[in-house]
Structure 1
């Protein structure tokens, strides 16, 4: 389960309206029949119109400056293993989202009218999406880039020949392009993976738009706070502040496991990703101690992050674990590391 929290920026400026983001999240519905549309939902309704989402989020920004984020985006990305556990992905993930937002509220070190923050203090709207496309930052696209560059150069040469600007054998150039297309290391359904290509397999995930202000539009609830648990003096009164991101990520994971009776592999846990960042030797020692079946699943999980399976020569004696191997593994698991951290 990879969860990111980001504050929405465009060209270095905070978005003053959620309208563009809401429109972006509607893109998938354009390709679906009316009865198959996924609607925005929250703790009160399963069918919230898009104009209401915009109106509610944009209108809940009292006393926020233009230099402050008005809303945050939480993206919840279940793995293929987790999605297989669901009977009805859309309905199951809607139920899970409500529980996640309960965890979100509980991780604020704030009080509203003398009580802890609760789910109904959080103004949010969520949406389920079932498709993903490859981005330019995806490791498959990046590793295919040298081939893409050569192919583009050859296509440009063909264009110049066809325009009569230069001479050359177009057939040979097209044959070279065909070879490069096949030689690119990352393919999907026999085609070179490129930016914008739809990803195959289960890709269902959750987008959550959450207001910076609470439901009453009085209190600021920022998941981007640099504090976890802190007290400060405001208008002569002691005020609690902070948001515990580690607790939120861990709690969301445990909530999924409890809700769907999911047996999580060590390599899937937030704790494992934290261990990898802070102590790679300990991480691979823990992997090597897993039972054979769980170790096989762990290797499979790591491969899907862009790691070459041939590099996984984890020795029995942890003292023999070479630094060079650790560094190569760490580069290969870059995606997992990024997904383990908050994106703000």
Structure 2
């Protein structure tokens, strides 16, 4: 499970209206029969019109300055394994989102405690993702595509008499490159903009910066984490604990759907990798045999090849070269957004 929290802004300025973002989230409904469309929902309602979303978010910004975010975007990205566990069922995902928003509210350090009833949010499920230029498959296909484009240009120049050369040999080379290109879907080379296969369901959530009363600011981007300060002579609590939220959100999924999470899927593992790749690798290799095998398979699905090393029974020993190989593979997976670390 990978969850992101971002401020919504255009260039260097924060969006003054949620209309552009709502329009963007409506893109999957274009050309789709009404009964097949996904609708915005909140804690209590399943079918909320996009116009209402814009009106309520834009109307809930009292005393916020232009340079302050008016709303935040949460994106919930279940893995294909997690989606498989719930049969890619939108109803189950809506159920999970409503529980996660309780976790979100409880992660604010305020007095009185914030509840989900204090949060103004609207969520929308999307079922598709497309390959981006930074995806591993696109990047690894690019050298082949570049050669093919170059050869095709040369053939056109030969046909126009601008260049001398053998069209037949260049045509054979193009055919060979198309056969060798490493990543394909149904025989077609993967390129930017192509739809990704398999379960790609994810959730976008628009969360107002202000609470439902439009009186208090609830910022998940606060630099303060569970701190207290004096305001007008009174000690007040403030801050948002992201670590707590991510842990709760993960635990909520596991509890709700009886999901058996592998180490490499966990938020704890992601934090460990970022802080200390050596420790991450040591813990990975130290897993029980069945769990370690499952972990290697999960990493393999996102393009991470785990180097083969001998593991002494008393202590995990790792060569620097092995760690570097593993870290390089993990970083490639992270940069292509194929693994939530």
State how many pairs are aligned.
336
The answer to whether structure 1 residue 312 and structure 2 residue 315 are counterparts is no
SS in 2 for 1:214: coil
User: Deviation at 1:166?
Assistant: 3.8
User: Deviation at 1:87?
Assistant: 4.2
Q: Which moved more, 1:70-79 or 1:228-237?
A: 228-237
Alpha carbons 1:181, 1:191 under 8 Å: kept: no
Structure 2 CA distance for partners of 1:15 and 1:161, relative to 1, 3 Å: farther
User: 1:115-264, aligned counterparts within 5 Å?
Assistant: 115-161=112-158, 165-264=162-261
- For residues 5-27 of structure 1, give each alpha carbon's deviation from its aligned partner in whole angstroms, at most 9, with x where no partner exists: 11122223222221111111111
User: Deviation at 1:231?
Assistant: 1.4
Structure 2 CA distance for partners of 1:322 and 1:216, relative to 1, 3 Å: same
- For residues 290-344 of structure 1, give each alpha carbon's deviation from its aligned partner in whole angstroms, at most 9, with x where no partner exists: 2333222211221233213xx4314313553112221222222234587657xxx
- For residues 172-196 of structure 1, give each alpha carbon's deviation from its aligned partner in whole angstroms, at most 9, with x where no partner exists: 4343333223322322222222111
SS in 2 for 1:76: strand
Structure 2 CA distance for partners of 1:173 and 1:37, relative to 1, 3 Å: same
User: 1:1-344, aligned counterparts within 5 Å?
Assistant: 1-87=1-87, 89-111=89-111, 115-161=112-158, 165-308=162-305, 311-317=306-312, 318-334=315-331, 335-336=333-334
- For residues 153-179 of structure 1, give each alpha carbon's deviation from its aligned partner in whole angstroms, at most 9, with x where no partner exists: 333334444555444444443433332
User: Deviation at 1:251?
Assistant: 0.5
Structure 2 CA distance for partners of 1:282 and 1:130, relative to 1, 3 Å: same
| TM-score normalized with structure 2 length | 0.91
- For residues 58-104 of structure 1, give each alpha carbon's deviation from its aligned partner in whole angstroms, at most 9, with x where no partner exists: 11111222212111111111111111111461000000000001000
Distance in structure 2 (CA, Å) of the matches to 1:88 and 1:186: 25
Alpha carbons 1:231, 1:240 under 8 Å: kept: yes
User: Deviation at 1:222?
Assistant: 1.2
Structure 2 CA distance for partners of 1:164 and 1:241, relative to 1, 3 Å: farther
How large is the RMSD of aligned CA atoms in angstroms?
2.1
Structure 2 CA distance for partners of 1:68 and 1:304, relative to 1, 3 Å: farther
Structure 2 CA distance for partners of 1:312 and 1:64, relative to 1, 3 Å: same
User: Deviation at 1:33?
Assistant: 2.2
User: Deviation at 1:124?
Assistant: 0.7
Q: Which moved more, 1:234-243 or 1:165-174?
A: 165-174
Q: Which moved more, 1:275-284 or 1:48-57?
A: 275-284
| TM-score normalized with structure 1 length | 0.90
Distance in structure 2 (CA, Å) of the matches to 1:215 and 1:159: 63
Structure 2 CA distance for partners of 1:27 and 1:162, relative to 1, 3 Å: farther
Alpha carbons 1:122, 1:211 under 8 Å: kept: yes
Alpha carbons 2:282, 2:316 under 8 Å: kept: no
Distance in structure 2 (CA, Å) of the matches to 1:330 and 1:31: 43
Alpha carbons 2:307, 2:325 under 8 Å: kept: no
Distance in structure 2 (CA, Å) of the matches to 1:9 and 1:181: 41
Distance in structure 2 (CA, Å) of the matches to 1:164 and 1:178: 23
Structure 2 CA distance for partners of 1:158 and 1:122, relative to 1, 3 Å: farther
